Amino acid sequence: RLANAVTPLWRLPYQEQLQVKYESQRKILQTLASRLEELGIDAQKPGGLCCPLQPVVPSPIINGYRNKSTFSVNRGPDGNPKTVGLYVGTGRERNIVCVKANHVENIPSKHKQVAQCYEEFICRSPLDSCILFHEGGHWRELVVRTTSCGHTMAIITFHPQELGQEALATQKALLKEFFTCGPGAVCALTSLYFQESTMTRCSHEQSPYQLLHGAPHIFEDLLGLKFRISPDAFFQVNTAGAEVLYQAVGELCQATGDTVLLDICCGTGTIGLSLAHRVSKVIGVEVVEKAIEDAEWNAAFNGISNCEFHTGKAEAVLPQLLASWEDARPLVAVVNPSRAGLHYRVVRAIRSCRSIRRLLYISCKPEGEAMRNFLELCCPPDPRKKLAGEPFAPVLAIPFDMFPHTVHCELVLLFTR
């Protein structure tokens, strides 16, 4: 049941998985074409698509490709309330159970090993797991990040409840001892982090990640560059797939030596930095402060001097940045937002900036909020929504299989005007 929930396509041969994904992306482009027709835009291309769709680009690695896994702590099928794994069931049906992920094919063995050790640690602990905040308990989720350089970072979330600083210090010392001198030492962690959190999700600014052991960062090699990764920084979960994706993005940008690349939702700067040698300047925008610190370090370490990075919400930073844009150089935008898509103020700023003639939208869920963005980019000027400027048109779609065995795809849509 867990394999079917997390990796629904795992039983299919890989070529069949790619075909399933191609069909789902085709339906998305048909939907976009229909929605554009409703707006009075003649968008129907052969097959009822809004633009040509290329075959799904396969992932170079099919099994164990994830470089980041998040494990929950909850009751297992045997009733053990300290099971570390992934969820099966739904809250609505009240049949949630936490199942060990040992057999899930997209998770590497190192992640499974750390999860098993964490379960062993919390089972020894006199403190309860925190299943529902109001019912007490402390031990919560585990995030494991690994890199092709052999680095492993573990981040443990802990609900402090009413514990004082002394009791917290004791728990941190026990965790460190277990993973450095005890049974957890087999994991050979590069970094062990601890975060006290009274919320479901907590940023570093809300509750700092506390380094209990090892180095503050792990490092990844990508397209000949070295990247530093902080606990909460975004990095594509499939590193080998990301290399293929970013190379294609570079070609689709059609960047020349005088191009300025605008990298919106840039994370640790991977896209911009990997393309910096092709362009005159890279401007990155990212909301996560630590990710921008990583991006700046990455630029300096790799000897890249034509990049500037801005911290803040894209909807706050970008309108200011583009409103005063007077640079005559061609401006190409690459956007890689979360599933929530781009804020409408970001779309408005992009449309209003005449210099942007080419836009690459990378979406991990194009049928979701990204669809709203596609329509906002392509619709006729709409004074009610303050959408001015010449509309964009979709000209090419390329899906990348960043998530083998799952139904998800990363879709790159090229828009021009």
Structure tokens, 268 = 């640790």
The DSSP letter of residue 243 is: H
Measured distance between the N- and C-terminal CA atoms of the chain, rounded to whole angstroms: 47
Task: Tell me how far apart the alpha carbons of residues 365 and 154 are, in angstroms, rounded to a whole number.
Answer: 27
Q: Which residues pair with 336 in a beta bridge?
A: none
Is 364 a catalytic site residue? yes
236 is an annotated ligand-binding site residue: yes
> For residue 91, how many C-alpha atoms fall within 13 Å in the half-sphere facing its CB?
3
CA quadruple 100, 106, 108, 109: dihedral sign = positive
Residue 313, φ and ψ in degrees, nearest 5? -65, 135
**Cα dist. 14→56, 101, 278, 400 in Å?**
12, 21, 34, 14
Token pair 């079917």 in the structure block, residue: 4
> For residue 44, how many C-alpha atoms fall within 13 Å in the half-sphere facing its CB?
6
Query: What sections of 154-208 are H helices per DSSP?
Result: 165-180
**Cα dist. 263→124, 278, 283 in Å?**
47, 14, 6
CA quadruple 394, 367, 1, 134: dihedral sign = positive
Q: Per the residue annotation, which of 364, 378, 379, 409 is the catalytic one?
A: 364
Catalytic (active-site) positions: 364
What residues form the annotated binding site?
236, 286, 336
The annotation places the binding site for S-adenosyl-L-methionine at 236, 286, 336
